[in-house]
A and B are shown apart, each in its own frame.
Chain A
Amino acid sequence: MDNIAEVRNLVFEYKDEETGASARVLDGVSLDVRRGEFLAVLGRNGSGKSTLAKHLNAILTPTSGKVTVDGFDTSDDSKLFDIRRRVGMVFQNPDNQMVATIVEEDVAFAPENLGVPREEIRRRVDEALEIVGMSAFKRHAPHMLSGGQKQRVAIAGALAMRPELLVMDEPTAMLDPSGRAEVIETVKKLNRENGMSVVLITHYMDEAVRADRVIVLDRGRIALEGTPKEVFPQVEKLTALGLDVPQAAYLIYMLNKHGLGLDASALNDEECAAELLRALESRRKGAGEP
Protein backbone atom coordinates (compact mmCIF):
# COMPACT_ATOMS: atom_id res chain seq x y z
CA MET A 1 0.00 0.00 0.00
CA ASP A 2 1.42 3.36 -1.02
CA ASN A 3 -0.62 5.43 1.42
CA ILE A 4 -0.19 5.31 5.16
CA ALA A 5 -3.47 7.18 5.64
CA GLU A 6 -6.47 7.80 3.41
CA VAL A 7 -9.19 10.34 4.08
CA ARG A 8 -12.36 10.12 1.99
CA ASN A 9 -15.13 12.72 2.02
CA LEU A 10 -14.53 13.43 5.67
CA VAL A 11 -17.27 15.45 7.34
CA PHE A 12 -17.06 16.30 11.03
CA GLU A 13 -19.77 18.10 12.97
CA TYR A 14 -20.19 18.79 16.65
CA LYS A 15 -23.14 20.04 18.62
CA ASP A 16 -22.80 23.38 20.35
CA GLU A 17 -23.72 22.67 23.99
CA GLU A 18 -25.39 26.04 24.49
CA THR A 19 -27.37 26.59 21.31
CA GLY A 20 -27.87 22.97 20.29
CA ALA A 21 -26.97 23.91 16.73
CA SER A 22 -24.46 21.71 14.94
CA ALA A 23 -21.29 23.23 13.57
CA ARG A 24 -19.49 21.70 10.62
CA VAL A 25 -15.72 21.83 11.08
CA LEU A 26 -14.69 19.57 8.20
CA ASP A 27 -16.80 19.65 5.09
CA GLY A 28 -15.87 16.88 2.70
CA VAL A 29 -12.07 16.52 2.90
CA SER A 30 -10.34 13.86 0.82
CA LEU A 31 -6.59 13.32 0.85
CA ASP A 32 -3.90 10.67 0.93
CA VAL A 33 -0.83 10.69 3.13
CA ARG A 34 1.78 8.83 1.10
CA ARG A 35 4.31 6.58 2.75
CA GLY A 36 7.55 8.43 3.41
CA GLU A 37 6.23 11.86 2.52
CA PHE A 38 6.48 15.11 4.47
CA LEU A 39 3.09 16.78 4.20
CA ALA A 40 2.45 20.26 5.61
CA VAL A 41 -1.08 21.42 6.43
CA LEU A 42 -1.71 25.18 6.54
CA GLY A 43 -4.79 27.26 7.23
CA ARG A 44 -5.97 30.07 9.47
CA ASN A 45 -7.34 29.43 12.97
CA GLY A 46 -10.65 27.62 12.76
CA SER A 47 -9.97 26.20 9.30
CA GLY A 48 -10.16 22.63 10.62
CA LYS A 49 -6.44 21.74 10.71
CA SER A 50 -6.34 20.36 14.24
CA THR A 51 -9.63 18.53 13.77
CA LEU A 52 -8.18 16.83 10.71
CA ALA A 53 -5.05 15.87 12.66
CA LYS A 54 -7.15 14.31 15.43
CA HIS A 55 -8.88 12.10 12.86
CA LEU A 56 -5.56 10.58 11.85
CA ASN A 57 -5.22 8.65 15.09
CA ALA A 58 -8.88 8.24 15.94
CA ILE A 59 -9.05 10.81 18.75
CA LEU A 60 -12.01 11.94 16.64
CA THR A 61 -14.00 9.84 14.20
CA PRO A 62 -15.93 11.06 11.13
CA THR A 63 -19.56 12.20 11.27
CA SER A 64 -19.62 10.87 7.72
CA GLY A 65 -16.97 9.74 5.29
CA LYS A 66 -14.06 7.47 6.07
CA VAL A 67 -10.53 7.63 7.46
CA THR A 68 -8.20 4.65 7.23
CA VAL A 69 -4.69 4.25 8.66
CA ASP A 70 -2.60 1.52 7.11
CA GLY A 71 -5.89 -0.01 5.93
CA PHE A 72 -7.60 0.12 9.37
CA ASP A 73 -10.87 2.06 9.57
CA THR A 74 -10.69 4.60 12.43
CA SER A 75 -14.43 4.18 13.06
CA ASP A 76 -13.89 0.52 13.96
CA ASP A 77 -13.32 0.50 17.74
CA SER A 78 -11.70 -2.94 17.64
CA LYS A 79 -8.87 -1.47 15.53
CA LEU A 80 -8.11 1.44 17.86
CA PHE A 81 -4.99 -0.20 19.25
CA ASP A 82 -3.61 -0.98 15.76
CA ILE A 83 -4.21 2.63 14.69
CA ARG A 84 -2.74 4.36 17.76
CA ARG A 85 0.35 2.18 17.57
CA ARG A 86 0.95 3.36 14.01
CA VAL A 87 0.37 7.09 14.49
CA GLY A 88 2.47 9.16 16.90
CA MET A 89 1.14 12.59 17.89
CA VAL A 90 3.01 15.68 19.04
CA PHE A 91 1.09 18.74 20.22
CA GLN A 92 1.70 22.47 20.63
CA ASN A 93 2.47 22.90 24.30
CA PRO A 94 5.54 20.94 25.35
CA ASP A 95 4.72 21.29 29.05
CA ASN A 96 1.39 19.50 28.70
CA GLN A 97 2.99 16.43 27.14
CA MET A 98 5.53 15.52 29.81
CA VAL A 99 4.39 12.80 32.17
CA ALA A 100 7.56 11.69 33.98
CA THR A 101 10.23 13.43 36.04
CA ILE A 102 13.18 12.03 34.06
CA VAL A 103 13.56 12.34 30.30
CA GLU A 104 14.13 8.65 29.57
CA GLU A 105 11.18 7.62 31.72
CA ASP A 106 9.01 10.03 29.80
CA VAL A 107 10.09 8.49 26.50
CA ALA A 108 9.48 4.99 27.91
CA PHE A 109 5.90 5.81 28.94
CA ALA A 110 4.11 4.69 25.75
CA PRO A 111 6.00 1.43 25.12
CA GLU A 112 5.56 0.52 28.82
CA ASN A 113 1.83 0.98 28.35
CA LEU A 114 1.94 -1.19 25.26
CA GLY A 115 3.51 -3.98 27.32
CA VAL A 116 6.80 -4.00 25.42
CA PRO A 117 9.46 -6.17 27.18
CA ARG A 118 12.00 -4.37 29.36
CA GLU A 119 15.12 -4.85 27.22
CA GLU A 120 13.21 -3.83 24.12
CA ILE A 121 12.02 -0.63 25.87
CA ARG A 122 15.63 0.18 26.80
CA ARG A 123 16.66 -0.26 23.19
CA ARG A 124 13.80 1.83 21.83
CA VAL A 125 14.28 4.68 24.31
CA ASP A 126 18.00 4.91 23.57
CA GLU A 127 17.37 4.81 19.85
CA ALA A 128 14.58 7.42 19.96
CA LEU A 129 16.69 9.84 22.05
CA GLU A 130 19.61 9.28 19.68
CA ILE A 131 17.48 10.17 16.64
CA VAL A 132 16.30 13.46 18.16
CA GLY A 133 19.78 14.25 19.48
CA MET A 134 18.81 14.21 23.17
CA SER A 135 20.83 11.20 24.44
CA ALA A 136 23.01 13.45 26.58
CA PHE A 137 19.93 14.58 28.49
CA LYS A 138 18.37 11.20 29.23
CA ARG A 139 18.84 11.51 33.01
CA HIS A 140 17.71 15.15 33.12
CA ALA A 141 14.44 16.52 34.48
CA PRO A 142 12.17 17.64 31.61
CA HIS A 143 11.29 20.96 33.26
CA MET A 144 14.95 22.03 33.13
CA LEU A 145 15.03 21.73 29.32
CA SER A 146 14.41 24.50 26.78
CA GLY A 147 11.17 24.51 24.77
CA GLY A 148 12.88 23.08 21.70
CA GLN A 149 14.49 20.32 23.73
CA LYS A 150 11.16 19.45 25.36
CA GLN A 151 9.51 19.10 21.95
CA ARG A 152 12.35 16.85 20.81
CA VAL A 153 11.71 14.66 23.87
CA ALA A 154 8.00 14.63 22.97
CA ILE A 155 8.97 13.48 19.46
CA ALA A 156 11.21 10.77 20.97
CA GLY A 157 8.22 9.67 23.09
CA ALA A 158 6.17 9.23 19.94
CA LEU A 159 9.05 7.45 18.16
CA ALA A 160 9.43 4.92 20.98
CA MET A 161 6.13 3.43 19.82
CA ARG A 162 7.77 2.81 16.44
CA PRO A 163 4.98 4.60 14.59
CA GLU A 164 4.65 4.67 10.81
CA LEU A 165 3.26 8.19 10.76
CA LEU A 166 4.11 11.17 12.91
CA VAL A 167 1.37 13.82 13.16
CA MET A 168 2.46 17.15 14.64
CA ASP A 169 -0.04 19.86 15.52
CA GLU A 170 1.79 23.22 15.57
CA PRO A 171 4.78 21.78 17.43
CA THR A 172 6.76 25.01 17.11
CA ALA A 173 4.09 27.63 17.90
CA MET A 174 5.36 28.24 21.43
CA LEU A 175 9.09 28.08 20.66
CA ASP A 176 11.70 30.75 19.97
CA PRO A 177 13.49 30.80 16.58
CA SER A 178 16.32 28.51 17.68
CA GLY A 179 13.85 26.06 19.25
CA ARG A 180 11.80 26.09 16.07
CA ALA A 181 14.87 25.39 13.96
CA GLU A 182 15.87 22.48 16.27
CA VAL A 183 12.46 20.84 15.95
CA ILE A 184 12.15 21.30 12.19
CA GLU A 185 15.69 20.00 11.56
CA THR A 186 14.84 16.95 13.67
CA VAL A 187 11.64 16.30 11.73
CA LYS A 188 13.36 16.81 8.39
CA LYS A 189 16.11 14.37 9.34
CA LEU A 190 13.60 11.82 10.60
CA ASN A 191 11.73 12.01 7.33
CA ARG A 192 14.81 11.89 5.10
CA GLU A 193 17.00 9.39 6.93
CA ASN A 194 14.46 7.17 8.67
CA GLY A 195 11.77 7.40 6.00
CA MET A 196 9.19 8.51 8.56
CA SER A 197 5.90 9.79 7.10
CA VAL A 198 5.16 13.20 8.61
CA VAL A 199 2.08 15.42 8.74
CA LEU A 200 3.05 18.85 10.05
CA ILE A 201 0.38 21.38 10.93
CA THR A 202 1.83 24.87 11.09
CA HIS A 203 1.29 28.61 10.66
CA TYR A 204 4.85 29.18 9.56
CA MET A 205 5.48 29.41 5.83
CA ASP A 206 9.22 28.86 6.24
CA GLU A 207 8.43 25.44 7.73
CA ALA A 208 5.86 24.49 5.09
CA VAL A 209 8.33 25.46 2.36
CA ARG A 210 10.48 22.49 3.42
CA ALA A 211 7.72 19.89 2.99
CA ASP A 212 7.24 17.65 -0.07
CA ARG A 213 3.62 18.67 -0.39
CA VAL A 214 1.40 21.38 1.07
CA ILE A 215 -2.34 21.39 1.71
CA VAL A 216 -4.19 24.59 2.65
CA LEU A 217 -7.48 24.19 4.51
CA ASP A 218 -10.15 26.87 4.58
CA ARG A 219 -13.51 26.54 6.30
CA GLY A 220 -13.21 22.81 6.48
CA ARG A 221 -12.31 22.25 2.84
CA ILE A 222 -9.08 21.86 0.90
CA ALA A 223 -8.47 25.22 -0.79
CA LEU A 224 -5.03 24.59 -2.30
CA GLU A 225 -2.84 21.55 -2.74
CA GLY A 226 0.54 20.96 -4.38
CA THR A 227 4.30 21.12 -3.94
CA PRO A 228 5.61 24.27 -2.20
CA LYS A 229 6.78 25.54 -5.59
CA GLU A 230 3.25 25.17 -6.92
CA VAL A 231 1.46 26.63 -3.89
CA PHE A 232 3.53 29.61 -2.71
CA PRO A 233 3.64 31.61 -5.96
CA GLN A 234 -0.17 31.91 -5.65
CA VAL A 235 0.22 35.13 -3.71
CA GLU A 236 -3.32 36.48 -4.09
CA LYS A 237 -4.99 33.22 -3.12
CA LEU A 238 -2.77 32.72 -0.08
CA THR A 239 -3.41 36.25 1.15
CA ALA A 240 -7.16 35.76 0.73
CA LEU A 241 -6.85 32.56 2.78
CA GLY A 242 -5.31 34.55 5.65
CA LEU A 243 -1.80 33.17 5.20
CA ASP A 244 1.62 34.74 4.92
CA VAL A 245 3.56 34.68 1.69
CA PRO A 246 7.35 34.23 1.84
CA GLN A 247 8.95 37.66 1.22
CA ALA A 248 10.96 36.22 -1.69
CA ALA A 249 7.80 35.04 -3.43
CA TYR A 250 6.08 38.37 -2.74
CA LEU A 251 8.92 40.42 -4.24
CA ILE A 252 8.88 38.38 -7.45
CA TYR A 253 5.09 38.61 -7.59
CA MET A 254 5.28 42.44 -7.38
CA LEU A 255 7.98 42.64 -10.05
CA ASN A 256 6.07 40.29 -12.34
CA LYS A 257 3.12 42.70 -12.29
CA HIS A 258 5.27 44.71 -14.71
CA GLY A 259 5.45 41.79 -17.12
CA LEU A 260 9.00 40.77 -16.23
CA GLY A 261 8.20 37.07 -16.49
CA LEU A 262 10.47 36.05 -13.61
CA ASP A 263 10.37 32.45 -12.41
CA ALA A 264 7.86 32.74 -9.56
CA SER A 265 8.82 29.52 -7.82
CA ALA A 266 11.66 31.08 -5.77
CA LEU A 267 10.89 30.29 -2.14
CA ASN A 268 14.00 31.37 -0.26
CA ASP A 269 16.52 34.22 -0.35
CA GLU A 270 19.02 32.18 -2.32
CA GLU A 271 16.62 31.20 -5.12
CA CYS A 272 15.16 34.70 -5.19
CA ALA A 273 18.58 36.36 -5.53
CA ALA A 274 19.65 33.86 -8.20
CA GLU A 275 16.55 34.52 -10.30
CA LEU A 276 16.97 38.30 -9.99
CA LEU A 277 20.65 38.09 -10.96
CA ARG A 278 19.73 36.01 -14.00
CA ALA A 279 17.17 38.64 -15.05
CA LEU A 280 19.61 41.54 -14.47
CA GLU A 281 22.28 39.72 -16.46
CA SER A 282 20.01 39.00 -19.42
CA ARG A 283 18.83 42.61 -19.43
CA ARG A 284 22.43 43.85 -19.42
CA LYS A 285 23.26 41.59 -22.36
CA GLY A 286 20.09 42.67 -24.17
CA ALA A 287 20.97 46.35 -23.69
CA GLY A 288 24.50 45.76 -24.99
CA GLU A 289 23.28 44.50 -28.35
CA PRO A 290 22.78 46.95 -31.20
Chain B
Amino acid sequence: MIKLENVSYTYMSGGPFEKKALDGVSLHINEGEFIGVIGHTGSGKSTMIQLLNGLLKPESGKVIIDGQDLSEKKVNIRDIRFKVGLCMQYPEYQLFEETVLKDICFGPLNMGLSQKEAEERAKFAANMTGLPEELLDKSPFDLSGGQKRRAAIAGILAMEPKVLILDEPTAGLDPAGRDEILFKIRDMHKRMKLTVLLVSHSMEDVAKLADRILVLNGGRVEMFGRPREVFAQSARLREIGLNVPQITMAADRLRAAGVDIPEGIYTVGDCYRILLPMLT
Protein backbone atom coordinates (compact mmCIF):
# COMPACT_ATOMS: atom_id res chain seq x y z
CA MET B 1 0.00 0.00 0.00
CA ILE B 2 2.79 2.41 0.98
CA LYS B 3 6.34 2.19 -0.24
CA LEU B 4 9.18 4.58 0.46
CA GLU B 5 12.38 4.06 -1.52
CA ASN B 6 15.45 5.88 -0.28
CA VAL B 7 13.51 9.04 0.50
CA SER B 8 15.34 12.18 1.65
CA TYR B 9 14.02 15.61 2.45
CA THR B 10 15.89 18.75 3.48
CA TYR B 11 14.36 21.99 4.74
CA MET B 12 15.88 25.27 3.52
CA SER B 13 18.28 23.35 1.35
CA GLY B 14 21.54 25.15 0.63
CA GLY B 15 20.89 27.93 3.15
CA PRO B 16 22.53 28.55 6.51
CA PHE B 17 19.58 26.89 8.32
CA GLU B 18 19.64 23.74 6.19
CA LYS B 19 18.15 20.83 8.06
CA LYS B 20 18.01 17.27 6.85
CA ALA B 21 14.63 15.99 8.07
CA LEU B 22 14.62 12.61 6.34
CA ASP B 23 17.73 10.81 5.27
CA GLY B 24 17.45 7.80 2.99
CA VAL B 25 14.28 6.24 4.38
CA SER B 26 13.07 3.00 2.81
CA LEU B 27 10.09 1.07 4.09
CA HIS B 28 7.07 -0.92 3.06
CA ILE B 29 3.61 -0.89 4.68
CA ASN B 30 1.04 -3.51 3.70
CA GLU B 31 -2.62 -2.88 3.04
CA GLY B 32 -4.68 -3.07 6.23
CA GLU B 33 -1.72 -2.82 8.59
CA PHE B 34 -1.86 -0.74 11.78
CA ILE B 35 1.45 1.03 12.18
CA GLY B 36 2.55 3.02 15.23
CA VAL B 37 5.02 5.79 14.42
CA ILE B 38 7.26 6.92 17.27
CA GLY B 39 10.07 9.42 17.49
CA HIS B 40 10.84 12.51 19.51
CA THR B 41 10.36 16.04 18.20
CA GLY B 42 12.62 16.55 15.19
CA SER B 43 12.92 12.85 14.33
CA GLY B 44 11.28 13.31 10.93
CA LYS B 45 7.77 12.03 11.77
CA SER B 46 5.93 15.13 10.58
CA THR B 47 7.95 15.35 7.40
CA MET B 48 7.23 11.71 6.63
CA ILE B 49 3.48 12.03 6.99
CA GLN B 50 3.43 15.16 4.85
CA LEU B 51 5.29 13.29 2.12
CA LEU B 52 2.73 10.49 2.25
CA ASN B 53 -0.16 12.63 1.15
CA GLY B 54 1.73 14.85 -1.22
CA LEU B 55 1.95 17.97 0.97
CA LEU B 56 5.70 17.74 0.47
CA LYS B 57 7.67 16.27 -2.42
CA PRO B 58 10.79 14.21 -1.73
CA GLU B 59 14.11 15.75 -2.65
CA SER B 60 15.29 12.34 -3.73
CA GLY B 61 13.83 8.85 -3.67
CA LYS B 62 10.33 7.62 -4.37
CA VAL B 63 7.02 7.72 -2.49
CA ILE B 64 4.62 5.13 -3.88
CA ILE B 65 1.00 5.00 -2.66
CA ASP B 66 -1.30 2.23 -3.87
CA GLY B 67 0.97 1.65 -6.86
CA GLN B 68 1.20 5.32 -7.83
CA ASP B 69 4.57 7.08 -7.75
CA LEU B 70 3.81 10.55 -6.35
CA SER B 71 6.72 12.15 -8.19
CA GLU B 72 5.32 11.25 -11.60
CA LYS B 73 3.80 14.17 -13.47
CA LYS B 74 0.60 12.40 -14.47
CA VAL B 75 -0.36 11.66 -10.87
CA ASN B 76 -3.21 13.83 -9.64
CA ILE B 77 -2.25 14.96 -6.14
CA ARG B 78 -5.92 15.69 -5.40
CA ASP B 79 -6.70 11.98 -5.76
CA ILE B 80 -3.84 11.12 -3.43
CA ARG B 81 -5.22 13.50 -0.80
CA PHE B 82 -8.56 11.71 -0.93
CA LYS B 83 -6.82 8.36 -0.74
CA VAL B 84 -4.59 9.31 2.19
CA GLY B 85 -6.54 11.03 4.95
CA LEU B 86 -4.33 13.10 7.22
CA CYS B 87 -5.57 14.13 10.64
CA MET B 88 -3.24 16.81 12.00
CA GLN B 89 -2.56 17.58 15.67
CA TYR B 90 -5.39 19.38 17.45
CA PRO B 91 -7.66 18.97 14.39
CA GLU B 92 -10.55 20.57 16.30
CA TYR B 93 -9.00 23.97 15.57
CA GLN B 94 -9.85 23.38 11.92
CA LEU B 95 -13.60 23.04 12.43
CA PHE B 96 -15.28 26.03 10.86
CA GLU B 97 -18.82 25.33 9.56
CA GLU B 98 -22.15 26.33 11.13
CA THR B 99 -23.08 22.76 12.02
CA VAL B 100 -21.18 19.59 12.72
CA LEU B 101 -22.91 17.88 9.78
CA LYS B 102 -21.84 20.60 7.33
CA ASP B 103 -18.31 20.37 8.62
CA ILE B 104 -18.11 16.61 8.12
CA CYS B 105 -19.68 17.00 4.62
CA PHE B 106 -17.04 19.49 3.53
CA GLY B 107 -14.56 16.86 2.33
CA PRO B 108 -17.00 14.60 0.46
CA LEU B 109 -18.66 17.61 -1.23
CA ASN B 110 -15.22 18.75 -2.33
CA MET B 111 -14.72 15.34 -3.92
CA GLY B 112 -17.75 16.08 -6.09
CA LEU B 113 -20.30 13.89 -4.29
CA SER B 114 -23.96 14.94 -4.17
CA GLN B 115 -25.40 16.50 -1.04
CA LYS B 116 -27.29 13.29 -0.32
CA GLU B 117 -24.25 11.04 -0.71
CA ALA B 118 -22.13 13.42 1.35
CA GLU B 119 -24.66 13.42 4.20
CA GLU B 120 -24.94 9.64 4.14
CA ARG B 121 -21.19 9.34 4.41
CA ALA B 122 -21.06 12.01 7.12
CA LYS B 123 -23.59 10.15 9.23
CA PHE B 124 -21.72 6.90 8.81
CA ALA B 125 -18.43 8.58 9.71
CA ALA B 126 -19.93 10.29 12.77
CA ASN B 127 -21.23 6.93 13.91
CA MET B 128 -17.81 5.32 13.40
CA THR B 129 -16.16 7.93 15.62
CA GLY B 130 -18.85 7.56 18.28
CA LEU B 131 -20.40 10.99 17.77
CA PRO B 132 -24.13 10.85 18.67
CA GLU B 133 -26.44 11.77 15.77
CA GLU B 134 -28.26 14.46 17.77
CA LEU B 135 -25.04 16.50 17.88
CA LEU B 136 -24.86 16.79 14.08
CA ASP B 137 -27.13 19.85 13.97
CA LYS B 138 -25.20 21.69 16.66
CA SER B 139 -22.46 24.21 16.12
CA PRO B 140 -19.06 22.49 16.32
CA PHE B 141 -18.08 25.12 18.87
CA ASP B 142 -20.70 23.86 21.34
CA LEU B 143 -19.10 20.40 21.52
CA SER B 144 -16.75 19.21 24.27
CA GLY B 145 -13.05 18.82 23.49
CA GLY B 146 -13.32 15.08 22.88
CA GLN B 147 -16.42 15.50 20.70
CA LYS B 148 -14.77 18.21 18.59
CA ARG B 149 -11.88 15.91 17.92
CA ARG B 150 -14.23 13.11 16.83
CA ALA B 151 -16.01 15.51 14.50
CA ALA B 152 -12.69 16.44 12.92
CA ILE B 153 -11.72 12.79 12.47
CA ALA B 154 -15.18 12.04 11.03
CA GLY B 155 -14.61 14.77 8.42
CA ILE B 156 -11.59 12.85 7.15
CA LEU B 157 -13.23 9.45 7.42
CA ALA B 158 -16.18 10.68 5.33
CA MET B 159 -13.85 10.93 2.33
CA GLU B 160 -13.38 7.16 2.69
CA PRO B 161 -9.60 7.18 2.45
CA LYS B 162 -7.66 3.94 2.08
CA VAL B 163 -4.97 5.17 4.42
CA LEU B 164 -5.66 7.11 7.61
CA ILE B 165 -2.80 8.98 9.23
CA LEU B 166 -3.40 10.40 12.71
CA ASP B 167 -0.88 12.77 14.27
CA GLU B 168 -1.18 12.62 18.08
CA PRO B 169 -4.95 12.06 18.07
CA THR B 170 -5.15 11.86 21.88
CA ALA B 171 -3.01 14.90 22.79
CA GLY B 172 -4.55 16.90 25.62
CA LEU B 173 -7.39 14.45 26.34
CA ASP B 174 -7.99 12.90 29.77
CA PRO B 175 -7.40 9.14 30.22
CA ALA B 176 -11.03 8.17 29.55
CA GLY B 177 -11.25 10.41 26.46
CA ARG B 178 -7.94 9.04 25.22
CA ASP B 179 -9.04 5.40 25.57
CA GLU B 180 -12.37 6.06 23.81
CA ILE B 181 -10.68 7.62 20.80
CA LEU B 182 -8.08 4.85 20.60
CA PHE B 183 -10.74 2.13 20.70
CA LYS B 184 -12.75 3.92 18.01
CA ILE B 185 -9.65 4.09 15.83
CA ARG B 186 -9.15 0.36 16.31
CA ASP B 187 -12.80 -0.20 15.29
CA MET B 188 -12.42 1.90 12.14
CA HIS B 189 -9.27 0.04 11.25
CA LYS B 190 -11.04 -3.31 11.52
CA ARG B 191 -14.43 -2.48 10.07
CA MET B 192 -13.33 -0.21 7.23
CA LYS B 193 -10.18 -2.25 6.49
CA LEU B 194 -8.12 0.93 6.70
CA THR B 195 -4.37 1.10 6.66
CA VAL B 196 -3.63 3.21 9.75
CA LEU B 197 -0.54 5.17 10.76
CA LEU B 198 -0.81 6.40 14.34
CA VAL B 199 1.82 8.96 15.27
CA SER B 200 2.23 9.25 19.02
CA HIS B 201 4.61 10.12 21.81
CA SER B 202 3.01 7.52 24.00
CA MET B 203 4.63 4.11 23.78
CA GLU B 204 1.80 2.65 25.86
CA ASP B 205 -0.88 3.80 23.38
CA VAL B 206 1.03 2.55 20.37
CA ALA B 207 1.86 -0.77 22.01
CA LYS B 208 -1.84 -1.45 22.65
CA LEU B 209 -2.89 -1.11 19.02
CA ALA B 210 -0.13 -1.42 16.46
CA ASP B 211 0.79 -4.49 14.40
CA ARG B 212 4.20 -2.97 13.85
CA ILE B 213 6.04 0.02 15.32
CA LEU B 214 8.20 2.35 13.27
CA VAL B 215 10.80 4.22 15.33
CA LEU B 216 12.34 7.25 13.64
CA ASN B 217 15.47 8.94 14.91
CA GLY B 218 17.39 11.79 13.29
CA GLY B 219 15.54 11.32 9.98
CA ARG B 220 16.35 7.62 9.70
CA VAL B 221 14.52 4.38 10.45
CA GLU B 222 15.89 3.28 13.81
CA MET B 223 13.62 0.24 14.24
CA PHE B 224 10.62 -1.22 12.43
CA GLY B 225 9.07 -4.37 13.82
CA ARG B 226 6.49 -6.05 16.03
CA PRO B 227 6.01 -4.40 19.45
CA ARG B 228 7.86 -7.21 21.21
CA GLU B 229 10.88 -6.82 18.93
CA VAL B 230 10.93 -3.06 19.44
CA PHE B 231 10.53 -3.12 23.22
CA ALA B 232 13.26 -5.77 23.47
CA GLN B 233 15.58 -2.88 22.59
CA SER B 234 14.46 -0.74 25.51
CA ALA B 235 17.96 0.47 26.35
CA ARG B 236 18.38 1.85 22.83
CA LEU B 237 14.90 3.43 22.92
CA ARG B 238 15.80 5.32 26.08
CA GLU B 239 19.15 6.31 24.60
CA ILE B 240 17.39 8.10 21.73
CA GLY B 241 15.14 9.97 24.16
CA LEU B 242 11.97 7.88 24.02
CA ASN B 243 9.85 6.74 26.92
CA VAL B 244 9.56 3.01 27.49
CA PRO B 245 6.47 1.58 29.23
CA GLN B 246 6.98 1.39 32.99
CA ILE B 247 6.27 -2.35 32.93
CA THR B 248 9.05 -2.90 30.36
CA MET B 249 11.51 -1.14 32.64
CA ALA B 250 10.38 -3.14 35.68
CA ALA B 251 10.75 -6.41 33.71
CA ASP B 252 14.22 -5.31 32.52
CA ARG B 253 15.25 -4.74 36.13
CA LEU B 254 14.03 -8.20 37.15
CA ARG B 255 15.90 -9.82 34.28
CA ALA B 256 19.07 -7.93 35.18
CA ALA B 257 18.72 -9.35 38.72
CA GLY B 258 18.63 -12.89 37.31
CA VAL B 259 14.88 -13.54 37.06
CA ASP B 260 13.94 -15.68 34.05
CA ILE B 261 11.74 -13.21 32.17
CA PRO B 262 11.92 -12.65 28.39
CA GLU B 263 12.87 -9.39 26.68
CA GLY B 264 10.28 -7.16 25.10
CA ILE B 265 7.56 -7.36 27.77
CA TYR B 266 5.24 -4.39 27.25
CA THR B 267 1.89 -5.21 28.85
CA VAL B 268 1.00 -5.69 32.51
CA GLY B 269 -0.89 -8.85 31.50
CA ASP B 270 2.19 -10.54 29.99
CA CYS B 271 4.32 -9.65 32.98
CA TYR B 272 1.64 -10.94 35.34
CA ARG B 273 1.30 -14.28 33.53
CA ILE B 274 5.04 -14.87 33.73
CA LEU B 275 5.48 -13.83 37.36
CA LEU B 276 2.42 -15.46 38.90
CA PRO B 277 3.68 -19.11 38.62
CA MET B 278 7.03 -18.04 40.10
CA LEU B 279 5.35 -16.48 43.11
CA THR B 280 2.65 -19.05 43.92
Contacts and interface: CB of A to CB of B under 8 A. Distances in A.
Contacts of B177: 45
B170 to A, nearest CB: 11
Interface in A85-103: 92
B171 interface: yes
Interface in B225-263: 241-243, 245-247, 249-250, 252-254, 257, 259
A45 B146 contact: yes
Interface of B: 40-41, 144-146, 171-177, 201, 204, 241-243, 245-247, 249-250, 252-254, 257, 259, 268, 271-272, 275-276, 278-280
17 contacts: A44-B175, A174-B172, A247-B268, A250-B268, A251-B247, A251-B271, A254-B272, A255-B275, A258-B276, A258-B279, A260-B280, A268-B246, A269-B246, A269-B249, A273-B254, A276-B254, A280-B278
A277 B259 contact: yes
A272 B257 CA distance: 13
Cβ-closest 7 pairs across A and B: A273-B253, A269-B249, A269-B250, A242-B176, A247-B246, A247-B247, A45-B174
A269 B271 CA distance: 12
A255 B279 contact: yes
Interface residues of A, number: 36
B40 A248 contact: no
Nearest to B176: A242
A280 B250 CA distance: 14
Contact of B176 (A44, A92, A170): A44
B91 to A, nearest CB: 14
Contacts of A277: 254, 257, 259
A289 interface: no
B174 A203 contact: yes
Contacts of A45: 144-146, 173-174, 176-177
Contacts of A176: 40-41, 201
A119 interface: no
Given A178-B241, A277-B257, 6 more contacts: A179-B41, A242-B174, A246-B246, A251-B272, A260-B280, A280-B278
A116 B204 CA distance: 48
Interface in A130-168: 146
A279 interface: yes
A283 interface: yes
A255 B280 CA distance: 10
A203 B175 contact: yes
Contacts of A272: 246, 250
A258 B171 contact: no
Interface in A199-246: 203, 206, 242-244, 246
A210 to B, nearest CB: 14
A173 B171 contact: yes
A232 B242 CA distance: 25
Contacts of A2: none
Nearest to A47: B174
Contact of B279 (A146, A247, A273, A280): A280
Nearest to A174: B172
A177 interface: yes
Interface string A161-197: 0000000001001101111000000000000000000
Contacts of B279: 255, 258, 260, 276, 279-280, 283
A170 B40 CA distance: 21
A50 to B, nearest CB: 12
Contacts of B245: 247
Question: Counting chain A CB atoms within 10 Å of each CB, which of B144, B172, B174, B204 scores highest?
Answer: B174
Contacts of B257: 273, 277
Contact of A243 (B175, B201, B246, B276): B175
A77 interface: no
Contacts of A268: 246
A270 B251 CA distance: 10
B268 to A, nearest CB: 5
A279 B217 CA distance: 39
Contacts of B171: 173-174
B151 to A, nearest CB: 16
A252 B236 CA distance: 27
A255 B268 CA distance: 11
Nearest to B261: A276
A170 B175 CA distance: 13
A21 to B, nearest CB: 16
A276 B242 contact: no
Contacts of A246: 246
